[in-house]
Structure 1
Amino acid sequence: MTILHQIDPIALHLGPLQIHWYGIMYLLGFVAAWWLGRQRVRAGRLPGVNEQAYGDLLFFSMLGVVLGGRIGYVFFYNFSELLKDPLMLFRIWEGGMSFHGGLLGVMGAAWWWARSHRTHFFDVMDFVAPLVPPGLGFGRLGNYIGGELWGKYTGGGWGVIFPRAPDFANWSTEQLQAQFAAGALDRYARHPSQLYQAALEGLVMFVVLWWFSSKPRPRYAVSGMFALLYGCFRFLVEFVRVPDAQIGDHGYLAFGWLTMGQVLSTPLILLGLFWLWLSTRSPTLQPQPPSADNPPASAPAKG
């Protein structure tokens, strides 16, 4: 069965202002992280930290996602264009965000926050890791709604037909609908790779990480599980996702199949395995729920 993608990427038109579904998905991801993080703070999963301090961590992490995601996309996927037009770095409205860049941005924000609060960096990362997958899932749903980052042809008479794909560069909406109704577009059906990623990186990772972190784990363990899962899932989905054509040979860096997404995900897989190994010889952080006698602090003690 084939589906013709006909979702309007703009959720609301408020005069000259347009609110895109992609932006709403980002907002939902941050709201989910805020709500879930509050539950973990109240359960004492990051001892010595209250909701106000967590709000600061979330704010800086949001900045890290946006700035790191944009800078990472430009440097990893569009560096040649950046050399020609450096101002493109600031034209965020044109699209282009990188998960790996966003991850580096979040890690930078978490490092700065952990240092200012005298907390071990990986205690913060282990705390944050289970809060990330909902945002990844919402983000991939935003990609699907926007009809971008589509997959390769299914070749089986099933999949999704994306009007924004190069196949239909000069087609009108009426032409697409008429040809689809006549069954003439089945050969253009593609893998909805955005939905694969939403399911794996969003739902599956959230369930596994939330369960895995539901009881105290050694330092590095939750971060290691996050890196390993994401790296493996992203590496696999890249086989059915259309790579960025401006990179390498039609999007492939080597062997006729290796993509930039796979290259960037390989270190995550290795780091995940290393951190999981490191966790076997690391201490376990025990929860310390706040109490009247021992309230959490929003800032490190002086002296």
Structure 2
Amino acid sequence: MLVHPMPDPIAVHIGPLAVHWYGLMYLLAFAQFIALGRLRIKQPHIAAVGWKKEDLDDMLFYGVLGVVLGGRLGEILFYNPAYYFAHPADMIAVWKGGMSFHGGFLGVMLAMYLWGRKRGRNLMDIMDFIAPMVPLGYAAGRLGNFINAELPGRPADPSLPWAMIWPNVDNIPRHPSPIYQMLVDGILLFIILWIFSRHSRPRMAVAGMFSLLYGCARFFTEYFRVPDYEVHFGGITISAGQMLSVPMIVLGIILLVLAYRLRQQAQAPAEPALAGKK
């Protein structure tokens, strides 16, 4: 039976400064954004619309603020409002973990809207550009959750080869849910989205595909994770993460339908002019 190694959440001490694994994972996420962004800018259909590597540094600054502020506010408001309002000092303790992807998603959208206003770019063009770079950053965050022994999975069949005991929870074999989410919501989604975005797509299509696929992947992997809380709709019970993923699925479908419908309308031949009046 596997046992979670429970590593020290502090990766290294530099004098009086303690560098946490969770912080290093966010640093890795931001570094891969720059690396993938430079690869994406080299794609002909991206270069053709004027994206440059200088845009990345500026966008990253706005994006970091959106991720950190939005992710933390999402964690506070969506998942644990009672705890954080009872312990306000912990609201800023991001090094302990506790970041909501859905909150970070909204924060990044707001940050990119502000950046787009400054640079004269359409919000959906920006979201189409950055969407393929997001999943690997998410995967790094889930690895940080696993290192911190956060987000334990639901009880698993002891015969499952990778079932794992989390000593900070109990002695019951559990699914390593952060690893599932890292692999499915992060790495698998990145591969699909990167391939999809390698060719020119109509405005909103890449962002819509990301929203749809992430929402579906997260809804699935949430089945293996101990829910923060559950919501009951008649005879149906879903977790908080699943509930928050439903709007992303709906948004993704809407964006994809609009993207291809608008392109179809733009490509439709104009009606021939009447030759004369009767």
Q: TM-score higher than 0.5 here? A: yes
Corresponding residue for 1:290? none
Shift of 1:144: 1.1
Corresponding residue for 1:253? 231
1:90-111 deviation per Cα after TM superposition (whole angstroms, max 9, x unaligned):
3333431100000011101111
> In the aligned structure 2, how far is the partner of 1:25 from the partner of 1:82?
24
Letter in 2 for 1:277: V
Q: Which moved more, 1:79-88 or 1:17-26?
A: 79-88
Q: Does 1:117 find its partner at 2:91?
A: no
User: What's the secondary structure of 2:168's corresponding residue?
Assistant: coil
Corresponding residue for 2:5? 6
> In the aligned structure 2, how far is the partner of 1:120 from the partner of 1:256?
39
User: What's the secondary structure of 1:239's corresponding residue?
Assistant: helix
Corresponding residue for 2:142? 140
Shift of 1:190: 0.3
Corresponding residue for 2:272? none
Q: Does 1:29 find its partner at 2:9?
A: no
User: What's the secondary structure of 2:5's corresponding residue?
Assistant: coil
Shift of 1:12: 1.4
Shift of 1:62: 1.1
Q: Does 1:39 find its partner at 2:39?
A: yes
Corresponding residue for 1:222? 206
> In the aligned structure 2, how far is the partner of 1:107 from the partner of 1:156?
42
User: What's the secondary structure of 1:132's corresponding residue?
Assistant: helix
Corresponding residue for 1:279? 259
Larger relative helix fraction: 2
> In the aligned structure 2, how far is the partner of 1:11 from the partner of 1:256?
42
> In the aligned structure 1, how far is the partner of 2:182 from the partner of 2:51?
31
User: What's the secondary structure of 2:164's corresponding residue?
Assistant: strand
2:165 to 161, 164, 173: 161
1:201 to 185, 188, 191: 185
User: What's the secondary structure of 2:261's corresponding residue?
Assistant: coil
Q: Is the 8 A contact 2:22 2:96 kept in 1?
A: no
User: What's the secondary structure of 1:258's corresponding residue?
Assistant: strand
Q: Does 1:266 find its partner at 2:236?
A: no
The percentage of counterpart residues that share the same residue type is: 46
Q: Is the 8 A contact 2:128 2:206 kept in 1?
A: yes
Letter in 2 for 1:163: P
> In the aligned structure 2, how far is the partner of 1:151 from the partner of 1:76?
20
1:180-233 deviation per Cα after TM superposition (whole angstroms, max 9, x unaligned):
xxxxx5xx1100111110111111111101000000001111011101111011
Letter in 1 for 2:19: I
> In the aligned structure 1, how far is the partner of 2:78 from the partner of 2:224?
20
Aligned residues: 257
1:5-60 deviation per Cα after TM superposition (whole angstroms, max 9, x unaligned):
11413221334332222211111111111011122224351623322222101111
> In the aligned structure 2, how far is the partner of 1:99 from the partner of 1:228?
15
User: What's the secondary structure of 2:12's corresponding residue?
Assistant: strand
Normalized against structure 2, the TM-score is what?
0.87
For structure 2, which runs of at least 5 residues remain unmatched after alignment? 265-278
> In the aligned structure 1, how far is the partner of 2:29 from the partner of 2:154?
27
For structure 1, which runs of at least 5 residues remain unmatched after alignment? 168-184, 245-250, 285-303
> In the aligned structure 2, how far is the partner of 1:14 from the partner of 1:54?
29
2:62 to 60, 63, 79: 60
> In the aligned structure 1, how far is the partner of 2:153 from the partner of 2:176?
6
CA-atom RMSD in angstroms: 1.8
Counterparts in 2 of 1:148 and 1:85: CA distance versus 1, 3 Å: closer
> In the aligned structure 2, how far is the partner of 1:116 from the partner of 1:16?
39
Q: Is the 8 A contact 2:12 2:20 kept in 1?
A: yes
